[in-house]
């Protein structure tokens, strides 16, 4: 056994204005496996997390739901924790950033940074929504990235190139709240002088501070890109009222930006745990701490953790993390999660349909390694791998042997400590441990399933069902089945970090009080009695996965305003006046080109000739026209004076094409005779 370590581990804090989905689960499963492994090895390891609860999005979402922010985040906290608990995520503390501990730590860190000359104030010009009469937070301004020119990027960082910037740097910005073009207004803001921290951050990210790497190679390369040119900008840490968060000390109507107090939430959650369990906070966060601190995060928030958070810790008198482990995104069947396809799968829907959460834990683990790579949930592979690995290989071992042990030998085992088969399994213990330690879960599970294959080959070679029929072979049958039960115990110990619930059931069957890593190198003693075997896990059926996809499609539809139609057609909308109708300018337009929109399953992109000008219009009718180029030359009816609309990342739609549902409820374009001319009025 290695020397006992003291470790604090965190997962990134899920934001409190949305449901937990399977993308969240990748990170929390990855973290939970690592924590469980450390505890299995006998180390002191604490796992803390919390809901990220502050910011304008929370404030606006609560208003829409007719409740206070405090009520909304309390409700969300209960829902989030239920989802995570359902997937076996065993936090030592799951807390909230809207807590007295977080307020205290945030104010203390701010004052320490200020005393260390790392906080300055500036009068800045900030974007202001003239319709909503509010300053716009970074994430409520969108526009073109000033560096790579990607469209529809948020106001704090570009999701395409990773650059961070001020929202005022965006090209052609617009308000994500109202769609209005924001105006400039002057206001006083407070800044963390990140530019002063460049030398320290270069040393820390490279490992020069203590001779060890703190980041993955891909992450270090990204940090070097940001650090090499001395382009670190001072970081705006304040927001103007109205805002849901902590007010900055001595600065009325000024609030901490959510990204300041969110990572401090790691401290707050641990502080709360310390107060309940008698732990010493400074042993883990103090400047001279010898404990280990690790953050598991998504690759999209690497900049905030490796630069902002690390510098905040250093210059407020705390220790920096030992490691920041970033992971990639989750795709489903090779594509980003999609609400329209039903693959934006919520954790709750998975659990509510009765799918075993450990199926997903195993599948995710089998895909994860230490690199920053996206992983894919291939639904057909998901079914095949679980049924093959867990049912066909692992559980099969116990089910083959347990019946004979009870029928022939009263549930008692022979001593098989000298078995060649058992030796082959136990000698892989440190190799598998190293795979878990280095987060190479896919490699660990390949090794474990390779051992399961070895055991099943032993089953087939010795055929206990035939030994049971042969006279004089009882001793050999007893030995073989005892070997299989002990092999199952060793594999169970190897799999425990990934499959804690299944392992607990297997432990009860094995009549072992508790598994730890020593069970990977030991055997059960002579005459140890096992309990009767009950089936441990069901196979996945294709219908269960299909039901999951369908349920998530329905959940999207259910989110729309409820209506009670009186026929097969949509209900009549609110009445409009004749004057309203007369404002609509309907014109004939010729389709010059029609094509599918990359990244969308619904939209078609039309280039239309109105006679007096050409325009681009998007229409959500792709399902009715699988070969969109066939529409070229068609005369359609379009609204010429419809206000332009931003279409997420696809561009601006400069009008609306009219369509109607046929008897099968498929949308079809309203067309006119080819003799009509572009620009002719309709109606």
Q: Residue ranges for the binding site?
A: 145, 148, 158, 161, 339
CB 304 within 8 A of CB 258: no
Q: Which residues are annotated as a binding site for ATP?
A: 339
Q: Which residue, 328, 431, 321, is CA-closest to 371?
A: 328
CB 273 within 8 A of CB 48: yes
Cα separation, 584 vs 643, whole angstroms: 11
CB 634 within 8 A of CB 671: yes
**Burial track 572-609 (b if 16+ CB lie within 10 A, e otherwise):** eeeeeeeeeeeeeebbbbbbeebebbeebeebbbbbbb
CB 587 within 8 A of CB 614: no
Please give the C-alpha separations between residue 562 and each of 349, 491, 556, 607, 665, in angstroms, as whole numbers: 20, 51, 12, 35, 19
Quick one: tokens of 5?
């370590």
Quick one: tokens of 580?
């309203």
CB 486 within 8 A of CB 524: yes
Please give the C-alpha separations between residue 108 and each of 97, 234, 240, 271, 295, in angstroms, as whole numbers: 15, 20, 21, 14, 22
User: Quick one: 341 exposed, middle or buried, by C-beta within 10 A (0-12, 13-18, 19+)?
Assistant: middle
User: Quick one: 435 exposed, middle or buried, by C-beta within 10 A (0-12, 13-18, 19+)?
Assistant: buried
Q: What is the 3-state secondary structure (H, E, C) of 245-291?
A: CCECCCCCCEEECHHHHHHHHHHHHHHHHHHHHCCCCHHHHECCCCC
CB 308 within 8 A of CB 31: no
Alpha-carbon dihedral angle through residues 215, 216, 217, 220, given to the nearest 10 degrees: -30
User: Quick one: 247 exposed, middle or buried, by C-beta within 10 A (0-12, 13-18, 19+)?
Assistant: middle
SS3 192: strand
Gyration radius (Cα) of the chain, Å:
30
Q: Which residue, 199, 222, 415, is CA-closest to 304?
A: 222
Q: Which residues are annotated as a binding site for Zn(2+)?
A: 145, 148, 158, 161
User: What are residue 46's DSSP bridge partners?
Assistant: 8
Alpha-carbon dihedral angle through residues 385, 386, 387, 390, given to the nearest 10 degrees: 120
CB 283 within 8 A of CB 271: no
Place of tokens 């705006």: 236
Quick one: tokens of 184?
């400039």
H/E stretch holding 587 reads: strand 586-596
CB 555 within 8 A of CB 348: no
SS3 217: helix
Give the Cβ contact number of residue 468 at 10 Å: 15
SS3 172: strand
User: Quick one: 318 exposed, middle or buried, by C-beta within 10 A (0-12, 13-18, 19+)?
Assistant: buried
Q: What is the DSSP secondary-structure string of 598-661?
A: TT-SS-EEEEEE-SS-EEEEEES-GGG-SSGGGGTT-EEEEETTPPPEE-TTS-EE-SEE-EEE
């Amino acid at each position: 056994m290695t020397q006992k370590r003291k470790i604090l581990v965190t997962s990134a804090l899920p934001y409190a204005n949305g449901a937990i989905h399977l993308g969240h689960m990748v990170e929390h499963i990855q973290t939970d496996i690592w924590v469980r492994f450390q505890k299995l090895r006998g180390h002191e390891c604490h796992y803390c997390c919390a809901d990220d609860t502050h910011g304008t999005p929370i404030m606006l979402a609560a208003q829409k739901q007719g409740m206070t922010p405090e009520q909304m985040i309390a409700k969300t906290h209960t829902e989030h924790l239920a989802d995570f608990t359902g997937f076996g995520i065993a936090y030592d503390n799951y807390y909230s950033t809207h807590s007295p501990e977080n307020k205290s730590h945030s104010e203390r860190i701010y004052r320490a940074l200020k005393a260390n000359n790392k906080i300055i104030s500036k009068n800045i010009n900030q974007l202001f929504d003239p319709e909503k009469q509010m300053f716009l937070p970074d994430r409520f301004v969108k526009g073109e990235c000033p560096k790579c020119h990607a469209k529809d990027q948020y106001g704090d960082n570009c999701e395409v190139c990773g650059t961070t910037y001020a929202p005022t740097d965006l090209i052609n910005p617009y308000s994500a709240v109202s769609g209005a073009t924001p105006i400039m207004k002057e206001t006083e803001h407070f800044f963390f002088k990140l530019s002063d921290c460049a030398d320290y951050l270069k040393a820390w990210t490279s490992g020069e501070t203590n001779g060890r790497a703190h980041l993955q190679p891909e992450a270090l390369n990204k940090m070097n890109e940001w650090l090499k040119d001395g382009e670190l900008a001072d970081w705006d840490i304040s927001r103007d009222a109205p805002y849901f968060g902590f007010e900055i000390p001595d600065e009325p109507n000024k609030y901490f930006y959510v990204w300041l107090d969110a990572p401090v939430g790691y401290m707050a959650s641990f502080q709360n745990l310390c107060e309940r369990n008698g732990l010493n906070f400074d042993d883990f966060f103090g400047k001279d701490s010898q404990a280990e601190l690790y953050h598991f995060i998504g690759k999209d928030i690497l900049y905030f953790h490796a630069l902002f958070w690390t510098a905040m810790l250093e210059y407020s008198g705390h220790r920096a993390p030992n490691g920041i482990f970033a992971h990639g995104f989750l795709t489903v069947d090779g594509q980003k999660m999609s609400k329209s396809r039903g693959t934006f799968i919520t954790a709750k829907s998975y659990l509510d349909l009765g799918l075993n959460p450990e199926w997903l834990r195993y599948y995710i683990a089998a895909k994860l390694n230490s690199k920053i790579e996206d992983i894919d949930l291939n639904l057909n592979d998901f079914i095949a791998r679980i049924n093959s690995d867990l049912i066909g290989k692992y559980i099969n071992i116990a089910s083959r042997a347990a019946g004979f042990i009870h029928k022939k030998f009263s549930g008692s085992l022979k001593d098989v400590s000298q078995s060649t088969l058992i030796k082959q399994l136990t000698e892989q213990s440190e190799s598998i441990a190293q795979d878990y330690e280095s987060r190479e879960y896919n490699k660990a599970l390949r090794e474990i399933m390779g051992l399961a294959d070895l055991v099943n080959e032993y089953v087939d070679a010795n055929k206990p069902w035939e030994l049971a029929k042969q006279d004089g072979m009882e001793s050999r049958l007893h030995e073989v089945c005892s070997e299989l039960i002990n092999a199952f115990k060793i594999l169970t110990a190897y799999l425990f970090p990934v499959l804690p619930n299944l392992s607990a059931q297997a432990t009860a069957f094995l009549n072992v009080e508790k598994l730890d890593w020593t069970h990977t190198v030991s055997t059960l003693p002579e005459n140890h009695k096992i309990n009767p075997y009950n089936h441990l896990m069901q196979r996945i059926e294709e219908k269960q996965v299909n039901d999951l996809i369908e349920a998530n499609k329905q959940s999207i539809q259910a989110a729309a305003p409820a209506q009670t139609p009186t026929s097969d057609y949509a209900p009549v909308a609110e009445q409009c006046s004749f004057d309203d109708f007369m404002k609509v300018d309907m014109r004939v337009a010729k389709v010059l080109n029609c094509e599918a929109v990359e990244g969308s399953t619904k939209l078609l992109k039309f280039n239309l000739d109105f006679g007096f000008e050409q325009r681009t219009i998007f229409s959500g009718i792709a399902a009715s026209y699988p070969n969109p180029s066939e529409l070229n030359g068609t005369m359609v009816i379009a609204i010429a004076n419809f206000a332009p609309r931003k279409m997420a990342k696809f561009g601006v739609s400069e009008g609306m094409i009219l369509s109607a549902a046929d008897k099968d409820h498929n949308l079809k374009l309203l067309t006119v005779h080819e003799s009509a001319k572009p620009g002719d009025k309709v109606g």
